[in-house]
Amino acid sequence: MNLLTEVLAFIVAIGVLVVVHEYGHYSVARLCGVKVLRFSIGFGKPLAQWVSRKTGTQWTIAMLPLGGYVKMLDEREDGARIPDDELRYAFNRQSVGKRFAIVAAGPIANFLLAIVLFAAVFATGVTEPAAIVASPAMNTAAAHAGFEGGETVSAVRDASGGEAEPVRSWSDLRWKLLGAAFDHRNVVLTAKDRNGTFDFPLSLESLSDKEVDDNFMSRLGFEPGGGTLSVAGVQRGSAAQKAGLQAGDRLRSVDGHPADNATTFINYIKSHAGKPITLQVERGAHAPQAGSEAGAPSGIQSNMQPGTMHTITLVPNAQRDDATGENVGRIGAELATQVPSIDVRYGPIESLRLGADRTWELGVYSIRMFGRMIVGEASLKNLSGPVTIADYAGKSARLGPSAFLSFLALVSISLGVLNLLPIPVLDGGHLLYYLVEAVTGKAVSDRWQLVLQRAGLACIVALSAIALFNDLARLIHF
């Protein structure tokens, strides 16, 4: 069922993005007076096709839904025989400005789609984790800033001055810190706890470009906190069972640190293989009765009545981690977590503004990240291919409409940025030709276009190979 969801979500996502991108080319071409011969969604054998009586355009849905194209009347096409009375409708007969507009319209359509999708998410409202910080790991930027866990971040401002920007949710905090980390700007976070409101100076200068990735928040020591962490199940013969943990128990703290985030708790357990740790546990109201869990010390269980707090000491077993090959701590307990959430909703005008801001930020981030990958300042592992896109499409679809629309907007921005890269065979390569023609007054020669096209095709093949390798690496963890 999950595979079917991923396939359907992937087809819908790619279909929508391709239609929007190609319709951008199509609509501006029609406005510029260019005759469009074919509008195709997908490649290969046509599954369905029809001809518009009004425009004469052939509309096609093809077998491979991995792209599309708009074929315009053009004298440069092999075997093209254009009547004299239709030459004015040919693409190659248009001015540089019109050709530039037609080619640029595809990526621009993707950016406009992202703005609309983000605006829809902001306007209809989305439930996100609250900006509550979990207890940070030692020697992280969050720990050095003074966070102890449980603080709610309400604003971010530049350490060098300027107005503070409000923080509404964990996602909002992540985006603001991402921009600051990418620019290596130190910031000041305003957060409140039970004792009042305080400023926390956060240093981001030490974060290298390669560390500004999907995991940068965890690297800084930031994880969503303020939640409840409970035991969902216990493995027989495990350290958790021997210590008396049962399904339904609520974990309050580990070695004096709040246990309010699963990632933080698991990482702490991993780092304490063979070392005793102390848990503060509240027995769940629906936990099994004493003695019902085979292999658990009955003395410990009999003293833990529902609703009471108890202290448990256990030693995580050392086990080999398949991903790293290192020995890490395991206690043999399945965890369930609930994180405090907040409903974020904006008005129509503000939603459009925020949608445009988010699209701009992501577009600039994508361009800068790609540039840093080229010069070796960022890892090529950030490239993703169709397998990863399909995986995330399915996951976001299962999370709900808001998550899927946000995913669709993100991929639309990526598609727009990719097509604007100055690589021959992409829209950006053609735009580069037109800029050269506008400056020099002469079109780039067919010979040079052929040479550059081959080079551009080699670049696309290389990028595709790297993206596919990364997809496979994520699937089989090598």
What digits encode the pLDDT tens for the residues 426-461?
899 999 999 998 998 888 887 887 888 788 778 877
Across the chain, what does the average pLDDT equal?
83
CA angle 420, 425, 429 (to 5 degrees): 45
Question: Which residues contact residue 158 at a Cβ distance below 8 angstroms, ignoring those fewer than 6 apart?
Answer: 180, 185, 186, 187, 188
Domains of the chain: 102-125+346-478 (no CATH), 141-220 (2.30.42.10), 228-335 (2.30.42.10)
Q: Are 203 and 145 in contact (CB under 8 A)?
A: yes
How confident is the model at residue 327, as a pLDDT?
86
426: Cβ contacts below 8 Å, ≥ 6 apart: 418, 419, 420, 456, 460
Give the 3-state secondary structure of residue 286.
coil
The one catalytic residue in 6, 22, 223, 282 is 22
Neighbours of 227 (CB within 10 A): 21
Write down the pLDDT at residue 300.
Answer: 46
Report the amino acid identity of residue 47.
L
The DSSP call for residue 35 is: P
pLDDT digits (tens, 9 = 90+) for 11-54: 888 889 999 999 999 999 999 999 999 999 988 888 899 998 88
Name beta bridge partners: 38.
58, 71
User: Is the confidence at residue 391, as pLDDT, over 70?
Assistant: no
For residue 408, what are the contacts with CB-CB under 8 A and spacing of at least 6?
13, 16, 17, 113, 117
Question: In angstroms, how far is CA 443 from the centroid of its own chain?
Answer: 40
The predicted structure's pLDDT at residue 330: 92
The verdict on whether 163 is a catalytic residue reads no
Alpha-carbon span 126 to 403, nearest angstrom? 9
What is the model's pLDDT at position 303?
54
Q: How far is 70 from 289, CA to CA, in rounded Å?
A: 69
| Sign of the four-CA dihedral 225, 394, 415, 214 | positive
pTM: predicted TM-score of the whole model, two decimal places: 0.74
